[in-house]
Every structure is written in structure tokens, then in C-alpha cells.
């Protein structure tokens, strides 16, 4: 069963973030260069860890092996969406934990003993009446679509890259066949070389 001590401890640990605290540090954090030659704004907030985002990006790059800036951009989109999904999961967990603490007296009065399922059920009942949980659900659905779209873009780019050499080979084959069919012009027609027989005169 969750306890106030556990929740307070988790909250205290979160406050020990090593993110930048100065205005200059926050600006640098928000404009960090993406690795692998692409520069862009990242979804990392000032109180989040850039190294964790970079590690996530590296793991995707190693796994998917993007070729060229277009494929790399699709991979970065996937990583950015995954980063936001993780943040959203943490937000959802925090919403439930706060509600569990808030409703503890009510649950204690209703049950002599209970488990985490009872706590979660009470919390869900209260949260479902608020706008917050509905927004989390909507954002989860949007992130899933965004991730699928980025993955589809990557796969499409790979199909185009794979088909490019085949198309080039066919083009070269047609060019060679065309050259083979071109008639030569360095010989003369037999008709041109033909001399009529001399005429004979009768006396």
C-alpha cells in the first residue's frame, strides 16, 4: 500500500535534479545540438536530463541505423515522441499518487483493510471527473499517432533508397541496349561500289 513517506521520498528525489538552474544554463540546455550532424530544438525541459535524451537517441540510431539526414530526421522524431510519452506517464503517475494521498482518510473510513486496487479505483473515480486525466488520454493517443507516422516515414525512405540502385541499373541497361542498336556509318552500300559492265559496240 502506498504511504505518505514513500510519496514524500519520491518527491524529494525528484527535487534533486541536476539540470541547469541559471538562466544561461537553461538557454544552453534548450538549444543543445542533436548528435550526428543535425541541429534542432529538443523536447528536453530545463529540469530534465539532456544526457538521458542523448542516450535514448543513441540507442535508436544504433538499432535503426539511419542513412542520410532524411532518415535521421525521422528517427529523431520517433525519439522526441518517445521522450514526451515517458514524461506523460510520469505525469499520470503523479496525478494518481496525489489523489491517493488526498483520499486516504476517505478510504480508511470505508474499509478496515484494503489493497492498492482499492486505492487506484478510488483515485480513478475522482480523476475521471476532472479534465486532467482526459487530457492525458488524448495526448497519449496523439503521441502514438505521431510515433507511427515517424516510423512510417522512415520505412518509406528506406524503400526509396533500396529501389534507387535497381532503377539506376535498369536505366543503364536501356542506355546500353540503345547504343547496341545504333547502325554504323563507316561502310558504304554495295550499290555504291557497283560498277556497270563496259558496253560493246557492234560494227
What pLDDT sits at residue 150? 97
Interatomic CA distance for residues 112 and 134, integer angstroms: 32
What pLDDT sits at residue 95? 96
Residue 185 near residue 109, CB atoms below 8 Å: no
3-class SS shares of the chain: helix, strand, coil, % to 5 = 70, 0, 30
What pLDDT sits at residue 36? 39
Interatomic CA distance for residues 57 and 117, integer angstroms: 36
Per-residue pLDDT of the chain (203 residues; tens, 9 = 90+): 443 444 344 444 434 444 445 555 544 433 343 343 344 568 999 999 999 999 999 999 999 999 999 999 999 999 999 999 999 999 999 999 999 999 999 999 999 999 999 999 999 999 999 899 999 999 999 999 999 999 999 999 999 999 987 656 666 666 666 666 655 555 554 445 555 555 555 55
3-state SS, residue 67? coil
Residue 126 near residue 50, CB atoms below 8 Å: no
What's the grid cell of residue 184?
554504323
What's the grid cell of residue 163?
529501389
What pLDDT sits at residue 142? 96
Q: Structure pTM?
A: 0.62
What pLDDT sits at residue 69? 93
What pLDDT sits at residue 178? 61
Amino acid at each position: 500500500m502506498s504511504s505518505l513517506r514513500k510519496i514524500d521520498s519520491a518527491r524529494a528525489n525528484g527535487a534533486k535534479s541536476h539540470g541547469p538552474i541559471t538562466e544561461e544554463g537553461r538557454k544552453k540546455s534548450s538549444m543543445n545540438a542533436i548528435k550526428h550532424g543535425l541541429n534542432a530544438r529538443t523536447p528536453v525541459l530545463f529540469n530534465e536530463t539532456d544526457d538521458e535524451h542523448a542516450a535514448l537517441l543513441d540507442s535508436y540510431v544504433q538499432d535503426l541505423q539511419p542513412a542520410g539526414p532524411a532518415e535521421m530526421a525521422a528517427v529523431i522524431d520517433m525519439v522526441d515522441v518517445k521522450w514526451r510519452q515517458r514524461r506523460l506517464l510520469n505525469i499520470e503517475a503523479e496525478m494518481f499518487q496525489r489523489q491517493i494521498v488526498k483520499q486516504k482518510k476517505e478510504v480508511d473510513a470505508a474499509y478496515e483493510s484494503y489493497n492498492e486496487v482499492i486505492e487506484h479505483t478510488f483515485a480513478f473515480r475522482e480523476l475521471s471527473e476532472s479534465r486532467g486525466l482526459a487530457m492525458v488520454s488524448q495526448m497519449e493517443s496523439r503521441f502514438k499517432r505521431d510515433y507511427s507516422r515517424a516510423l512510417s516515414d522512415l520505412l518509406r525512405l528506406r524503400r526509396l533508397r533500396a529501389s534507387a540502385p535497381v532503377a539506376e541499373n535498369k536505366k543503364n541497361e536501356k542506355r546500353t541496349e540503345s547504343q547496341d542498336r545504333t547502325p554504323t556509318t563507316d561502310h558504304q552500300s554495295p550499290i555504291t561500289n557497283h560498277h556497270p559492265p563496259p558496253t560493246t559496240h557492234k560494227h
